[in-house]
Amino acid sequence: MSEELELVRGSDNVFRDVGLPDADSEQIKAQLAAEIIRILRERSLTNAAAARQAGIQEADISRIRNADLDRFTIDRLVKVLNGLGLHVGVTVSPQPLAPA
């Protein structure tokens, strides 16, 4: 017997989709951490080397690699990216109107 599954289209923010508080902030933190992880992989940096470059503790690099972002603010993640030689830009756009 097969069940028919309902397809539900999500938004661009999984944190909002599951009803978490501060969903927009969590999404930004996840995007910044993903970029940090990408740079670390691309440059084949160890946690120690990445920590030296970014000016943070090795344990914090490990937390970022494991997406354990509770201890990080957006500005702290931006500073890590800056320490790795990257510039972070911000784009602001209007929210789409909810269907009536």
Structural domain boundaries in the chain: 21-83
Residue 74: predicted pLDDT: 97
pTM: 0.84
Per-residue pLDDT tens listing for the chain (100 residues):
678 888 888 888 999 999 999 999 999 999 999 999 999 999 999 999 999 999 999 999 999 999 999 999 999 999 999 999 999 999 888 877 766 6
Give one word for 44, left, alpha or beta, with left for phi > 0 and alpha for psi -120 to 50: left
Token pair, residue 16, equals 């909002």
Residue 99: predicted pLDDT: 66
Residue 31: predicted pLDDT: 96
Alpha helix (H) residue ranges in 1-100: 14-17, 23-42, 47-54, 58-65, 74-83
Residue 64 class from Cβ within 10 Å (0-12 exposed, 13-18 middle, 19+ buried)? buried
Q: Say how far apart CA 70 and CA 30 lie, in whole Å.
A: 11
Q: Say how far apart CA 30 and CA 69 lie, in whole Å.
A: 8
Residue 1: predicted pLDDT: 60
> What's domain 21-83's superfamily in CATH?
lambda repressor-like DNA-binding domains (1.10.260.40)
